[in-house]
């Protein structure tokens, strides 16, 4: 038997008075760690159950399942692994106990590195949001004050005076306006809504209908969890020194995340060199990186986010810091003096490799980060072409990189239903015909640009080995020539089926679902 409280010095007792049938009481913001006795078996079991749910969320998001479909699938998974019963006090309190304990176990297991923290935070936030969204407005108005969220209720007179303004906000509760409670919230607590202009703003206060308060509560929750993850990471070594659950915790977080790219520990297998880049861009880079590479060749310059996205990608593929410096310098000094480069950009390059500033070891961006991150503005070349280009530009780009009509249509179809990462997988399949037979693992293609390139390089290695006996040809000698795959796409090639189940009605979903898709 182990006391979980020993994980956190300041643990307070888990409240025992939960239960009853009020649904909003079942949802926790995990402000207090449980003080419980628990067996090792249970410890592992509850944590793995929660992990199932979190992975489900990740999977649904990666496949861009949204709206009602997302809710339905998640509800199913929750019912199986982590239900929050409200039938009677007894089962309610048992379920809540499991929910709380499993959250705190995983919080510890995933506090270890930045990637793990980010992963956990993302999934937990989505889970919390889902649970809040399942509440009715009436339940929500009870949830708010019970969690110490002091949002001022707008008086009926004031509400009536603002009526026309409040109703000209996208997704305003037009039909239920009279019955809807509005809260007056300082603008900096409503960042999400403000950034999307989804709230009425006056004199520094956001006027938020109870239906949209979810976003704000979620933002609060995310901040809280993010902070406690950082705090927990300071205790990680101490906690895992326990010979019984230490190894359990260590293993739990290994369950996800696949390969780490660019952690600089010398395990990056691709070990690319600057001289290889032109040919790699030609045949082994996903669209986003191809674009950055050719922009760099064309303009001899990349703006800030472009440098980061491309620079970290190259780092992830094993480009050493010295090679990186030589490469960027060679590019930039075509339009500026060496002096200017050294003053303005050399710092940046070293910084990416953790050699300056806070000495953080930056990891290359995943597709999710690229797709959800800072969108490119005029003059920018970063981002994900599937997400950030309009159809015309994307289509002509695909023709430019010699994707045949059939494949192109399939790719554009995925993009239309907002399955950007599936579109990218499709691009891989189209340009690596026969990859299945080659036995090369395509894990992570469409999830991480580095996985894309890695798989492609492996593919070409295999192919070269197959073609010329055991001799493997050094990649990237030929510039301008397209080795391997042949110039024109052959229309007769068998198109491999999309690997993951396609979320058919997603994105185009009915009513509420479609209008909720952020307009950005």
Partner 1 sequence: MPTAAMEVDKGDQEMVAGASGVESKAPVRSKGVSADDDREAFSPDLLRIYYARLFPYEQMYRWLGYSNMPASLPDSSGKPQPVDEQADFFSKREFSFTIEDDVYIRYQCFADQKEFEQQVQRKQPHKIDIGAIFTLPPKNHLAVKPGAFQPVERELVFDIDLTDYDDVRTCCSGAKICNRCWSYMTMAVEVMDVGLRQDFGFKHILWVYSGRRGVHCWVADDAARALTNEGRGAVADYFGVVAGNDNQSKKVNVSLPIHPSLRRAYETLEPLFLEHIITEEGQGLLSDPSHWGKLLATVPEDVRQTLEGRWKMGGSSPADKWEELVEEMEKKGRKQQQLAKKMKPADRPPTPEQWRYEVVFEHTYPRLDVNVSKGRNHLLKSPFAVHPKTGRVCVPIDPAHVREFDPFTVPTLGQLQRQIDKYDKEHGEETKSVSSINKTEMKKYVQQFEDTFLTGLYKGIRVKKRDRTERIAAVTTDF
Q: Which residues are annotated as a binding site for [4Fe-4S] cluster?
A: 288, 367, 384, 424
DSSP 385-420: HHHHS-HHHHHHHHHHTT--HHHHHHHHHHHHTT-H
Instruction: Give the other-Cβ count within 10 Å of 351's Cβ.
Output: 17
Place of tokens 């006090």: 89
Is residue 114 close enough to count as binding partner 1 by CB under 8 A?
yes
Cα separation, 8 vs 233, in Å, equals 11
As annotated, the binding site includes 288, 367, 384, 424
Query: Distance between alpha carbon 317 and the CA centroid of its chain, in Å?
Result: 20
Cα separation, 96 vs 28, in Å, equals 8
Among partner 1, ligand SF4, none, what binds residue 352 when CB lies within 5 to 8 Å by partner kind?
partner 1
Is residue 211 close enough to count as binding partner 1 by CB under 8 A?
no
Q: Are 288 and 308 in contact (CB under 8 A)?
A: no
Among ligand SF4, partner 1, none, what binds residue 508 when CB lies within 5 to 8 Å by partner kind?
partner 1
Is residue 520 close enough to count as binding partner 1 by CB under 8 A?
yes
The least CB distance from residue 470 to ligand SF4, in Å, is 31
Nearer to partner 1, 3 or 357 (CB): 357
Residues 6+ apart with CB under 8 A from 248: 40, 43, 44, 47
The least CB distance from residue 190 to partner 1, in Å, is 8
According to CB under 8 A, which one of 7, 135, 352, 424 is a site residue for partner 1?
A: 352
Nearer to ligand SF4, 212 or 388 (CB): 388
Helices within 82-195 (DSSP H only): 89-109, 114-133, 137-146, 156-161, 163-167, 191-195
Tokens matching residue 353: 């490799």
Contacts to partner 1 from residues 228-267, by CB under 8 A:
229-230
Nearer to partner 1, 14 or 57 (CB): 57
Is residue 392 close enough to count as binding partner 1 by CB under 8 A?
yes
Residue 155 has what DSSP assignment? P
The least CB distance from residue 475 to partner 1, in Å, is 29
Is residue 152 close enough to count as binding partner 1 by CB under 8 A?
yes
Residue 205, helix vs strand vs coil = strand
Is residue 444 close enough to count as binding partner 1 by CB under 8 A?
no
Nearer to partner 1, 91 or 226 (CB): 226
Nearer to partner 1, 5 or 190 (CB): 190
Among partner 1, ligand SF4, none, what binds residue 479 when CB lies within 5 to 8 Å by partner kind?
none
Q: Are 158 and 151 in contact (CB under 8 A)?
A: no
Q: Which stretch binds partner 1 (CB under 8 A): 14-22, 35-43, 323-331, 348-356?
A: 348-356
Place of tokens 């888990």: 14
The least CB distance from residue 191 to partner 1, in Å, is 4
* CB-based burial label for 317 (10 Å; 0-12, 13-18, 19+): buried
Among ligand SF4, partner 1, none, what binds residue 420 when CB lies within 5 to 8 Å by partner kind?
ligand SF4
Is residue 196 close enough to count as binding partner 1 by CB under 8 A?
yes
Among partner 1, ligand SF4, none, what binds residue 353 when CB lies within 5 to 8 Å by partner kind?
none
Element holding 182 (H helix, E strand): strand 182-186
* Residue 127-146 contact track with partner 1, rule CB under 8 A, x = bound: --------------------
Cα separation, 257 vs 249, in Å, equals 15
Nearer to ligand SF4, 70 or 452 (CB): 452
* CB-based burial label for 104 (10 Å; 0-12, 13-18, 19+): buried
Contacts to partner 1 from residues 161-180, by CB under 8 A:
165, 167-170
Element holding 215 (H helix, E strand): helix 210-240
Is residue 335 close enough to count as binding partner 1 by CB under 8 A?
no
Is residue 333 close enough to count as binding partner 1 by CB under 8 A?
no
State the residues that interact with ligand SF4 by CB under 6 A.
Answer: 286-288, 367, 370-371, 384-386, 420-421, 424, 446, 449, 452
Is residue 347 close enough to count as binding partner 1 by CB under 8 A?
yes
Q: Are 321 and 350 in contact (CB under 8 A)?
A: yes
Q: Are 298 and 344 in contact (CB under 8 A)?
A: no
The least CB distance from residue 240 to ligand SF4, in Å, is 33
Is residue 482 close enough to count as binding partner 1 by CB under 8 A?
no
């Amino acid at each position: 038997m182990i006391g979980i409280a020993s994980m956190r010095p300041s643990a307070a007792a888990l409240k025992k008075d939960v239960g009853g049938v009020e649904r909003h009481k079942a949802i926790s913001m995990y402000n207090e760690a449980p003080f419980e006795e628990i067996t090792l078996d249970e410890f592992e079991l509850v944590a793995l159950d929660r992990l199932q749910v979190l992975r489900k969320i990740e999977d649904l998001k990666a496949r861009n399942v949204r709206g009602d479909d997302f809710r339905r699938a998640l509800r199913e998974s929750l019912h199986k692994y982590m239900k929050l019963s409200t039938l009677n006090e007894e089962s309610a309190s048992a379920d809540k106990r499991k929910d709380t304990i499993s959250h705190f176990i995983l919080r510890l297991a995933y506090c270890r590195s930045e990637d793990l923290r980010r992963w956990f935070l993302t999934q937990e936030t989505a889970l919390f949001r889902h649970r809040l969204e399942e509440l009715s407005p009436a339940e929500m108005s009870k949830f708010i004050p019970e969690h110490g969220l002091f949002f001022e209720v707008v008086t009926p007179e004031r509400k009536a005076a603002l009526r026309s303004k409040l109703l000209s906000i996208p997704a305003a509760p037009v039909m239920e306006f009279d019955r809807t409670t509005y809260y007056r919230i300082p603008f900096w607590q409503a960042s999400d809504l403000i950034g999307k202009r989804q709230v009425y703003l006056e004199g520094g206060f956001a006027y938020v209908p109870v239906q949209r308060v979810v976003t704000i509560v979620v933002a609060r929750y995310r901040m809280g969890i993010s902070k406690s993850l950082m705090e927990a990471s300071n205790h990680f070594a101490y906690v895992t020194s326990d010979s019984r659950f230490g190894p359990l915790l260590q293993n739990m977080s290994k369950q996800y995340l696949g390969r780490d790219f660019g952690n600089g520990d010398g395990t990056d297998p691709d070990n690319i060199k600057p001289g290889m880049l032109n040919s790699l861009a030609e045949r082994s880079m996903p669209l986003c990186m191809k674009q950055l590479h050719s922009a760099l060749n064309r303009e001899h310059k990349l703006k800030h986010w472009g440098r980061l996205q491309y620079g970290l990608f190259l780092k992830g593929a094993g480009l050493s810091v010295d090679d990186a410096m030589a490469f960027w310098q060679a590019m930039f000094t075509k339009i500026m003096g060496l002096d200017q480069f050294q003053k303005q950009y050399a710092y940046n390059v070293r910084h990416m490799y953790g050699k300056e500033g806070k000495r953080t070891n930056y990891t290359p961006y995943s597709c999710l980060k690229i797709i959800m991150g800072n969108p490119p503005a005029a003059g920018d070349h970063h981002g994900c072409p599937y997400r950030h280009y309009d159809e015309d530009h994307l289509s002509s780009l695909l023709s430019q990189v010699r994707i045949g009509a059939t494949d192109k249509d399939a790719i554009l179809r995925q993009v239309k239903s907002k399955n950007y990462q599936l579109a990218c997988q499709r691009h891989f399949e189209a340009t690596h015909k026969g990859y299945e037979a080659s036995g090369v693992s395509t894990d992570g293609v469409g999830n991480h640009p580095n996985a894309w390139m890695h798989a492609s390089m492996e593919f070409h290695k295999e192919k070269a080995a197959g073609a010329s006996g055991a001799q493997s040809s050094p990649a990237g000698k030929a510039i301008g020539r397209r080795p391997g795959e042949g110039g024109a796409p052959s229309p007769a090639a068998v198109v491999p089926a999309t690997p993951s189940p396609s979320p058919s009605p997603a994105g185009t979903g009915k009513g509420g679902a479609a209008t909720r898709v952020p307009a950005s």
